[in-house]
Structure formats: C-alpha cells, structure tokens
Amino acid sequence: MLVAVILSTAFLGALAVYFAGKLSPRVRNVLAVLVALTVAILTAFLYGHKAQVDYYTIGFLDVTLSLRTNPLAWFFAMAITGIGLCSIIFSLEYMKGKERLDFYYFAMLLVNASMLGIVFSGDLISLYIFWEVMSWSTYLVISYKGGKAAAAGLKYMIMSVVGSCAMLLAIVSLYAHYETIDISRLSTAMQSASAGYALFILLMCAIGFGVKNAIMPLHTWLPDAHSEAVSPFSAVLSGILVRMGVFGLLLIMYGVLTPRMLDKLGAGMLSFSYILCWVAAITIIIPTFTALLQDDSKRLVAWHTVGQGGYMIMGIAFGTTLGIAGGIFHVLNYGISVTLLFLVVGAVEHRTRGQRDLNQLGGLAKRMPLTFFAALCGICGFIGVPLTGSFVSKWLIYKTLIVEGYPFLAFAALIGTWGTILSVYKLLHNIFLGQLPEKYKDVKEVPFSMQLPMIVLSFAILLFGILPGIPLKAIGRIQSSLGLEPLQASLFAMPPEVGELNMVNILAAVAAGCAVAYLIFRLCRKSRRVPQSDTYAAGSYAPADKYQYSANFYERVYQVIEPYVRDRVDAFYYWVVEKSEGLFDGIRKVYTGNLNTYALYIILFLGLLAVLKLALR
Amino acid sequence: MQFLSVIVLPLLAFMVAVLFLGLSRKITARIQRRYGPPLYQPVIDVVKLFTQEENISHGPVFDLGVMLALGGSVAIVLFIPVGGMLGLSSSGDLLVVIYLMLLPPLGMALAAGASANPNASIGVSRKLILALAYEVPFLLAILAVMIYGKTTSLMEATQSQQSSVLAWGLFRLPLSALATFLILPAMIGMRPFDMVTAPQEIASGPLVEFGGKYLAIASLQSALHLYIVIALFVNLFLGGGANAGTFLAKVLVVFVAVLLINAVYPRFRMDQGLRFCWKWPGLLALVGLIIAMVSRG
C-alpha cells in the first residue's frame, strides 16, 4: 500500500507545486522541497518490504496493472529520491530569477515521480507507461532553455523513441506468447522459452534500455542533452535517470530471465554475456578518452556518464556474485559523484555568469573553497581513489574479472580509470587551480542552500567508501531476491575468500601517514603566506592574465590519440539523417499536394490495371 | 611481530630512500668522472631545508597537498611486504596498492596548482600525460602477474615465487618483467623520462614553488616513491626476499641499473615519451599478457 501512497504523493505533489507557483513563488519552493523530502522519507520506510498491489484492470485485454516493491526497487528508489532532493534544494538559488519556474519544478518532480513509477512497476505495461512519461517529461526539461537545448532535446527524443519501439515490441511479443505481463509470472513462464526467443526478447530490451543508459553505439544523444540542460537537471539526468537503463537490464536479465537461461545463449566467446561485456568495455574506453578532449565543463562530465555506465554493464553482464554486486554498487557511487560534479559545475557557472569553457576559468579554489572541496570529492569518486565508494565497486569488478581469467576486460576497465584521471583532473585544475583571472577576482562562494547538497553528497562519497558494508548489505538482499548468491561483506571489509580489502585499515594507514606528515610539518617553522601571483619564474616575469597556460592542457596526448577517438557513430547517424532527408525529399516530389497530379496518378494506375488485365487475357 | 612491522616498514623505507638519494648522486658523479658529494649529503640537505628560517606558502591547499603527498607515500609503504614483514598487506591487495599510488601525485598536483606559476601547471599536465603513458604497459604487466598467479594479492604473488630462482616472475613472465623494467624510469621520473621536473625547461615543474620544509617534504616523498616503485618491481618479478636483507639487496641492484640509464641518457620530448611507452613496453607487455593467459590454461 505504501508504494501507492508514495507514487500518488510524487505525482500529485508535482501538480500541486505547479499550481502553488501561481499563488506565490515562495510557497512553490517550500512545497517542492517538501514533496521531494516526503517522498524520500516514505521510500526509506519501505526498506525490507516486499509487496505487490494491483491497481487497475484493463478489461478488454484481461491484464492487471500492479505496483510492487522489492529490494531492487527500494535501492533504486532511494537513489532517485536522494538525488532528486539534492538537486531540488540546489535549484532554489540556482534557478532564482529564471523564467517559467513553475513549469521547471513541475517537470523536475514529474521526472522523479515517473522514475519511481518505473522501479515500482509490477508489470511491463505500467513500466512502459512510466517509461514514456519519463522520456517525455525529460524532453521538456532538456529543451527548457531553448536554442541549442531544443535541438539536443529533439535528438534525445528521436533516439528514445527508437528505444521505446524496441521495448514495446518485446512487451507485445511477451504478451502474445504468455498472455501475461506480470513480471514475476513472466519469469516463471520464461523458464520454458527457447534460447532463440529469449535472445530476441533480451536484444529488444537491451536496445530499449541501452539507449537510456547510453551504451555505445546508442550514446550520441547524451553529451548534447546533458551539457545543454540546466545544471541541477543535468545532475538528475546523469546521476540516476540514465541508470534506469541499468535497472531495466537487471530486471530483464536476472528478474525475468535467469542466469541459467543466460548461459544457454551461446557459449564461450560468442555468448550474450561475453559480447555485452565487450560492448561495455568499448563503452568505457572511447567515451572516457573523448572526455579528455572536451573543453566544456559540462560536456566533459557528460562523456563520463557514458563511460562510467560501461563499468556497471560490465559488472552486471559478467554475472558473477562480485560482478553484479560491483555493478549495482557502482550505480550508486557513480550517481552520487556525477550529481556532485554537475552541482559543482553549476555552482561555478552560477558565480561566473555561465562560464563553462575550461580554458577561461582558473584559480577559484580560494574564492569558492567549499565548492572546491566538493569538486575534489567528486573527482576522487569518479576516479575511485581509495576511501571513496567507487573504489570498492570498481575493485569488486576488477577482482572478479581477474580471478575468472579475463585480463583484457580488466585492462579495459583499468585503463578507463586512467583516462578518467586525466580528464577529471583537468576539470579540477582548470576551474579551481592555477592562475585566477582578473575578471573573477571578486567571485564569492555560493549561498548555503547550494552548499548543503554538495556537503551531503561529499559526505556520502566518503561514508560509502569507508563503510561500504552499508550499501552492500542492501545489494546482498537484491541478489538474494533475484535468486543469486549474495555477497557477504562485513561493514568495512570483504570476507577472506573474496579478497584482501579492509577499508578501515586503509583509512588508518592513510590517516597515520598524513599524521606523520603533519607532525613533521608542524615541527618546522611556521610558513609565511604570500599571494598566489608571487611566484618564481626562473628569471623571467610571468604576467598576470596575459595568457592562459592551462589551455590545451593535454595537447601532446591530443596529437597521439585524437584520430582514434572521434565520435564516428554520431557522424554516421548524421550521415543517415542526411541521406534519408534526400530520400524523403525525392518522395515528396511525387506527392506534390496538387489534386490534378493525384488524379493523374489514379488514372495512370487504372490504365495500368486495364493494360494488365488485357495482357493477361 | 606483524604489528611491529607496521612501524618498522616506514622507518626502513625512509632510511633506504635517503640512502638511495646519496648513492644516486655518488654513482652518477662517478659515471660522469666527477668525485661527487659524500653519501650522507642528502641528510644534510634535508635537515638544512627543515630548519630553514623562512618558509613560503600559497595557502591551505598548498600545505595540505604536500602533507597528503607524503602521507600517501607512507601509507603505501605499509602495503608492500618486505621479506617476511607483511605490514598491512592482508588488508589490501595489489589493486589497492596501485590505487593508493594515486594519492601522492594527487597531493603534489594540488600543491602545485595552488600557486599561479605557469611552470607548475605545465609540470602537472606533463605528469598526468606521463602517467597515462606508463600505466598502459604497467597495467598490462601486472595483469599478467595476477592472471598467472590467479590472485590479486601482492603477498601471494610474492610468496609463489620463492620456491626457487626459476620461479621468479622474471623467468616465468620475462616479457612482462622486461616491459616493467623499461618503464621504471618513467614511473620514478628519472631520465629519459624526467620531463615532469625538467629543471632546464620548466624550472622543476610542480616543485618550482617549493622551498624550505615544503621542498624537504617533497624530496622525502620522491625518495619514498622511488623505493616504493622498485620494491613493487622486486616483489612482482624478482621473488621478493626471504628476509629483509635479501630483499633490500635486490632493491639496490635494480636501483643501480635504473641509475645507469639515468646517468647517460638525455630527456625525451613529451610526445616521444608517450609514443615510446605505448609502442615498445606496451607491445612487450601485451604479448606477455597473452602468453600468461595461454600458459594459465
């Protein structure tokens, strides 16, 4: 029952916020936060519940629509509501003074509500309906700014529709085969399915969910859409919305089909799982190195959204206990980090009059210390520096790939991390370190309501890094509920049969090392603070603001890798669009819109029939 | 005993690291037919820097970055077994070690970025590019070790080599060992890969703003880093050591070998270094990994 309450709160709340905006902006803002908060708290209470309620029956099809909750749904719902709440709070100041705010908050809440609908769906029709609501409302928010954003939104929508069609095909076919769309009943029915049919369903769903999750080569909408949307929404979009694809894939691979079924789909090098792993590997490498070439801060983070998704798919497709746990855990860790980074970029944008070009920024660490700290946590979370959550999730994935004997997949994952280091460090360095340009001398730290979500998210990154057992326990429950072997991790360490990883000891080692360094540091004479510009320039004079030396940060790497990382897929799609436009243009010449021409066609056709008839006689 | 090793390991590492600094200057001088400073010269240098009257700071990020760099290096030392001393290596495997190795460069880069010095920024960018260059062969090589031993544990990888000399990684996985040896100078930052701190071009790069205690901590950190990289190589490919003595002897041999290269080679340009690391060591490590995968069966 609680599920129904949560969903109605979320949807009705979104509407209420819209109308509250007509009364007064203040009421609307308070209500928006309140709705997001209530939904988050209610969702937290669902922990450990397992229930299914029917809510509607479609008479002529004889199908019952239902909502359900289980550990998998709870885990994703928590991530959705948490990230949603953070970005709503961030929006309050960020969006101040922008136009059509009632619509903005309505759409934001609607997106969150529809995502909750997806994870709580008990049948495929509900899932599809919520999925479409999500896609369309996302389109509305992406194109909110107009101009370039509208084009990005359109690109997103076209690719989403392709995905939806594939998904719909799978759902209709399942209904035709088994006469049910209830997910739990389907999973029993599918046990007797032939391998070919299972593969068809899986492929259709993989396309449907793959577009959302931006698996290569279905990723091209993402960099445009994420960089053109407003920052708090980019955070939601990147943090959790695209990961609905991972949710869907988990659901179809392990909730509907089973590992036993998956094993039947080909063998060795040509099995479905292995090929999907390689698709994931490519999804890790190419986008991560493409990110390295970006100069737009949001676009850089957006490319990582594609790249990091590869880790999740790889873990889940690999299908071992560690792999699945790592994949699901990475959804959470990555979601937190990327949300944080989009908020950071948004905060910088907010204070520098919309500056996103990394070659124009610099030295803001002293002006915006908290944002800098948040950015540091965010990039560490992206890289997976020890003591952040991503370290543990990536470790689980590497570990299982190596122990099972797949070094090249492991290499793809590892080298992706080093690509990540380069590109996200550029983000940190070019915004916060180095020379502070003259025009940003008076930049101030963002207001508290923007700081708060960043503080909370930074804390979460460190918390899940030091005590990974908290989320891993919930993930263990997901695994058992899907009928898989659960990962038994303690609060801060892996069991010995899994491997050597004890986060508290690692924390102790780093803390002790830093304590030693601090002691040495304090024993010496105190240092004198000098302004940033007081530097040693080897005899020459480094003029302030004359040149930006962090521009073209990785020029030497560009020279070597640039030919390999162009987005050829996008170019291909554009080629297809261009060619089909030509084709459609040709077809349009036939349909002139002139009645006389059509009459001529009819007469010609009749004449042809007459000739045929005569000839055949 | 194992608890004690947590304290002994960093102390040992500090002593060996400082000794290496002295040794390197002496040996390099001898190769170049100079007399060279006494062995304890680095100790004098570091003590002098620590007691310097004036230290200049560019703010909290500058201070904390330096501390993080040294602290991170001390932490890594605890995870690298020396002979029988295991330290904390049962709490973190090889993957943890290579990830922990990100902390010191991160700290240095943060400290370097706190100033507005162009040379520091250029140095940071060079360091990151160089890391990308040598990590490709390095990751391929350690993957070969891990695949071959079916473990990610550094402890087990070392112990499995101790039955005889022929069980060393060097003889079991010669190509991976060779690839790693070729990139050792890049990992340490010695010639021909010292573009990051190139004194004549970018005035020591990230170190340019460091003086007094900052420079002292930075030089201790870089000495520790040198020890860490070579100790890792010895553990992975030279069978570790039965006790601390044999272990350190092997570390010394590898260090001198790297030093010989350092003393005679000029510096690569950045893109040359990148191409070299990906081409030759990368290719060797790739073939090595395929062989390891096949021989594992």
**A400-446 confidence digits (pLDDT tens):** 888 888 888 888 888 888 888 888 888 888 888 877 877 888 888 88
**A159-176 confidence digits (pLDDT tens):** 888 888 888 888 888 888
* Mean pLDDT to the nearest integer, B291-295: 84
Cα A157 to the center of its chain, rounded Å: 16
Q: Which two tokens stand for residue A402?
A: 């190596």
pLDDT band at A193 (very low <50, low <70, confident <90, very high): confident
At a CB cut-off of 8 Å and minimum separation 6, what does A150 contact?
A143
A311 closest CA partner among A227, A252, A234, A389: A389
* Mean pLDDT to the nearest integer, A266-289: 82
pTM of this structure: 0.88
* Mean pLDDT to the nearest integer, A81-108: 85
At a CB cut-off of 8 Å and minimum separation 6, what does A541 contact?
none
A286 closest CA partner among A33, A538, A19, A561: A561
Q: Chain A contacts of B53, Cβ < 8 Å?
A: 525
Q: Chain B contacts of A372, Cβ < 8 Å?
A: 61
Looking at the predicted structure, is the pLDDT value of residue A268 above 70? no
| Closest residue to B115, CB basis, from A425, A510, A532 | A532
Q: Chain A contacts of B100, Cβ < 8 Å?
A: 386, 506, 510
**B42-79 confidence digits (pLDDT tens):** 888 888 888 887 788 888 888 888 888 999 998 888 88
pLDDT computed for residue B229 by the predictor = 92
Q: Would residue B190 be called left, alpha or beta, if left means φ above 0 and alpha means ψ between -120 and 50 degrees?
A: beta
pLDDT computed for residue A550 by the predictor = 65
**B212-259 confidence digits (pLDDT tens):** 888 888 888 888 998 999 999 988 888 877 788 888 888 888 998 888
DSSP for A232-252, please give it.
Answer: HHHHHIIIIITTHHHHHHHII
pLDDT computed for residue A565 by the predictor = 67
* Mean pLDDT to the nearest integer, A449-466: 89
A104 closest CA partner among A141, A154, A156: A141
Q: What is the DSSP letter of A444?
A: -
Rounded to the nearest angstrom, the minimum Cα separation between B98 and chain A is 10
Looking at the predicted structure, is the pLDDT value of residue B88 above 70? yes
Stated as kind and residue range, the H or E segment containing A65 is strand A63-69
**A363-413 confidence digits (pLDDT tens):** 788 888 898 999 999 999 888 888 888 888 898 898 888 888 888 888 888
Q: Which residue has the higher pLDDT, A119 or A47?
A: A119
Q: Chain A contacts of B140, Cβ < 8 Å?
A: 411
**A549-584 confidence digits (pLDDT tens):** 666 777 777 777 777 766 677 777 778 878 888 888
Q: Which two tokens stand for residue A313?
A: 């798919």
| Closest residue to B67, CB basis, from A403, A521, A535 | A521
- Judge residue A606's burial from the number of C-beta atoms within 10 Å of its C-beta, 0-12 exposed, 13-18 middle, 19 or more buried: exposed
pLDDT computed for residue A58 by the predictor = 75
pLDDT computed for residue A573 by the predictor = 78
Q: Which residues pair with A69 in a beta bridge?
A: A51
8 A C-beta contact, residue A298 and residue A342: yes
Looking at the predicted structure, is the pLDDT value of residue A206 above 80? yes
Lowest-confidence region among A269-283, A538-552, A601-615:
A538-552
Looking at the predicted structure, is the pLDDT value of residue A547 above 60? no
Looking at the predicted structure, is the pLDDT value of residue A530 above 80? no
ipTM of the complex: 0.89
Q: How many domains does chain B have?
A: 1
**B150-175 confidence digits (pLDDT tens):** 888 888 878 788 777 777 877 788 88
pLDDT band at A224 (very low <50, low <70, confident <90, very high): confident
8 A C-beta contact, residue B134 and residue B279: no
For Cα atoms A343, A442, A431, give the angle at the middle one, nearest 5 degrees. 40
Three-state secondary-structure class, residue A360:
coil
B55 and A560 within 8 Å at the Cβ level: the answer is no
8 A C-beta contact, residue A237 and residue A225: yes
A291 touches chain B (CB under 8 A): no
pLDDT computed for residue B1 by the predictor = 58
| Closest residue to B71, CB basis, from A410, A418, A514 | A514
Looking at the predicted structure, is the pLDDT value of residue A546 above 60? no
pLDDT computed for residue A72 by the predictor = 87
Looking at the predicted structure, is the pLDDT value of residue A280 above 70? yes
A residues 516..535 contacting B (CB < 8 A): 516-518, 520-521, 523-530, 532-535
Looking at the predicted structure, is the pLDDT value of residue A337 above 60? yes
A505 and B59 within 8 Å at the Cβ level: the answer is no
**B93-130 confidence digits (pLDDT tens):** 888 888 888 888 888 888 888 887 778 888 888 888 88
At a CB cut-off of 8 Å and minimum separation 6, what does A243 contact?
A76, A79, A213, A309, A312, A331, A334, A335
8 A C-beta contact, residue B236 and residue B169: yes
CA nearest to A538 within chain B: B203
Q: Which amino acid is at A28?
A: R
Lowest-confidence region among A40-54, A369-383, A444-458:
A40-54
pLDDT band at B271 (very low <50, low <70, confident <90, very high): confident
Instruction: Count CA atoms closer than 13 A to A338's CA, side-chain side.
Output: 34
A401 touches chain B (CB under 8 A): no
**A129-188 confidence digits (pLDDT tens):** 888 888 888 888 877 777 777 777 788 888 888 888 888 888 888 888 887 788 888 888
Stated as kind and residue range, the H or E segment containing A67 is strand A63-69
Looking at the predicted structure, is the pLDDT value of residue A111 above 70? yes
A559 touches chain B (CB under 8 A): yes
Q: Which residues pair with A65 in a beta bridge?
A: A56
Q: In whole numbers, what is the pLDDT of chain A averaged over residues?
A: 83
| Closest residue to B124, CB basis, from A366, A391, A429 | A429
A427 closest CA partner among A368, A330, A523, A361: A361
Rounded to the nearest angstrom, the minimum Cα separation between A453 and chain B is 23
Looking at the predicted structure, is the pLDDT value of residue A200 above 70? yes
pLDDT band at A545 (very low <50, low <70, confident <90, very high): low
* Mean pLDDT to the nearest integer, A243-258: 85
pLDDT computed for residue B138 by the predictor = 92
How far apart are the C-alpha atoms of B38 and B47, rounded to whole Å?
15
How far apart are the C-alpha atoms of B221 and A520, rounded to whole Å?
12
Phi, psi of A57 (to 5 degrees): -120, 125
Q: Chain A contacts of B93, Cβ < 8 Å?
A: 499-501
| Closest residue to B75, CB basis, from A509, A536, A559 | A509
DSSP for A74-124, please give it.
Answer: HHHHHHHHHHHHHHHHHHHHHTTT-S-HHHHHHHHHHHHHHHHHHHHBSBH
Measured from the Cβ of residue A381, the count of other Cβ atoms closer than 10 Å reads: 30
**Alpha-carbon separation of residue A434 from A532, B64, B132 (angstroms):** 9, 16, 22
Q: Which residue has the higher pLDDT, A377 or B202?
A: A377
Mutate to test the interface with B, among A376, A427, A527 (most CBs of B within 10 A): A527
A513 and B70 within 8 Å at the Cβ level: the answer is yes
CA nearest to B67 within chain A: A517
Measured from the Cβ of residue A566, the count of other Cβ atoms closer than 10 Å reads: 12
CB < 8 Å & 24+ apart, contacts of A177-182: A179/A62, A180/A63, A181/A63, A181/A123, A181/A124, A181/A125, A182/A64, A182/A66, A182/A122, A182/A123
Q: Chain B contacts of A501, Cβ < 8 Å?
A: 91-93, 96
A384 touches chain B (CB under 8 A): yes
Looking at the predicted structure, is the pLDDT value of residue A2 above 60? yes
pLDDT computed for residue A23 by the predictor = 83
8 A C-beta contact, residue A448 and residue A42: no
According to DSSP, the β-strands at B55-57 and A527-529 are: parallel
Q: Which amino acid is at A71?
A: P
| Closest residue to A422, CB basis, from B110, B132, B147 | B132
Q: Which residues pair with A53 in a beta bridge?
A: A67
Stated as kind and residue range, the H or E segment containing A340 is helix A321-351
Q: Chain B contacts of A512, Cβ < 8 Å?
A: 74-75
**A96-107 confidence digits (pLDDT tens):** 877 788 888 888
Give the range of the structural domain holding residue B292, as residue numbers without chain letter. 2-296
A528 and B57 within 8 Å at the Cβ level: the answer is yes
